[in-house]
Amino acid sequence: MTSRERVKRSLHFQYPDRLPVNFDANRTPADGIEYGEDMIWVSATRRPKVNGVDEWGVVYESIGESFGEPKVFPLEGKETLDGYTFPDFSEDWRYEAMRKTIAENVEEKYVLGMLPNGLFQTMIDLFGFMDFMVNVGVNPELIEEVCERFCLSAIACTKKMAECGVDGIILIDDTALQDRPMISMEAFNEIFKPRYKRVFDYAHSLGLDTFMHSCGYTLDIMEELIDAGCDAINLDQQDNMGIEEISKRYKGRICFYCPLDIQRTLDMTQEQIQQRVEEMLRAFASPAGGFIAKTYPQPKAVGMTDSYLKWMTDAFKKTEIV
């Protein structure tokens, strides 16, 4: 069974030959250590930052090796989009490197295309958190207008990536705080859910799978994402919602694409990590599939040691799913 088929079978509960893993492809910075891989990540090329300003007009301040924090927000205080220009992700040059990477995929790994914008997180980057939250309540028409532009951008990018040969798409979209959704479920369902559905439906029409990343307390949001057509959810935190509660509501209904919880497990011993992996696989996976094991993409930024990574990846590879 090829890696591509293995991942697809797990996504769609069609009995993969073993647990698919994504341990190396999007780990930053790359450290030369290989733990195992069934996937390749690709993305559209972005214009480089100029004096800390990205192509969306957001000004970033660097934090350590791997992160940047937005400091200046181009739509903050704005009541309309007059004078603002959105990046164009239908441009061919953005996909040249992607085509080359996919052409070289002789091992037939599953190719996951990362969309350059989500529908939610990029909104916060453009408005700033406070302005975004206020506008959801007092100027939802503006939020809807921006979300619509994001939706059209995501669809245009999905079309280009499908032409390049990706197998699935992923939206990176933090939608929640530690203990609750960021906005009311009513606002989420009115503004965001229909547009997620349009992106997912379009991807499915091209034969692509749909992935979504969100940190935070997404317990209720997952229900809406499943209804919108999401095939796989990347949760880097699970303990804040409770593994058993997630399992009770969603096991067998969506594929989980996860590392161990990045907040609660980093100081665990090797034995404790093995126990937690077994617990997670009992809760989320079955012999039919429903789970893809992964690493956190910036392990050094959250304090993961090489020992932790080895213990976790070894545990995922050797634990039998029953």
What are the angstrom distances between the C-alpha of 41 and each of 38, 102, 244, 319? 10, 10, 30, 25
Distance CA 309, CA 122 (A): 30
Sheet strands side by side (includes 255-258): 21-22, 291-294, 255-258, 232-234, 209-213, 168-172, 110-114, 39-43
Chain center to CA of 176: 13
Distance CA 134, CA 143 (A): 10
HSE-up (13 A, CA, CB side) for residue 80: 2
How buried is 38 (Cβ within 10 angstroms: 0-12 exposed, 13-18 middle, 19+ buried)?
A: buried
Query: Running DSSP on this structure, what letter comes out for residue 50?
Result: B
Query: pLDDT (tens digit, 9 = 90+) per residue, 60-89?
Result: 887 665 567 888 999 999 999 999 999 999
Q: Which two tokens stand for residue 43?
A: 């993305």
Q: The tokens 């929640």 sit on which residue?
A: 176
Per-residue confidence in pLDDT tens, the chain, 322 aa: 999 999 999 999 999 999 999 999 888 776 778 899 999 999 999 999 888 899 999 998 876 655 678 889 999 999 999 999 999 999 999 999 999 999 999 889 999 999 999 999 999 999 999 999 999 999 999 999 999 999 999 999 999 999 999 999 999 999 999 999 999 999 999 999 999 999 999 999 999 999 999 999 999 999 999 999 999 999 999 999 999 999 999 999 999 999 999 999 999 999 999 999 999 999 999 999 999 999 999 998 899 999 999 999 999 999 999 8
Looking at residue 322, what is its pLDDT?
Answer: 81
Determine if the peptide bond prior to 299 is cis (ω within 30°). Answer: no
Query: Running DSSP on this structure, what letter comes out for residue 203?
Result: H
Interior angle at CA 52, CA 47 and CA 58, nearest 5:
75
3-state secondary structure of 51: coil
What are the angstrom distances between the C-alpha of 175 and each of 125, 213, 298? 13, 9, 19
Distance CA 250, CA 20 (A): 19
Predicted TM-score of the model (pTM)? 0.95
Domains annotated on the chain, with CATH: 3-47+76-318 (3.20.20.210)
Distance CA 281, CA 316 (A): 9
- Spatial contact of 216 and 237, defined as CB atoms under 8 Å apart: yes
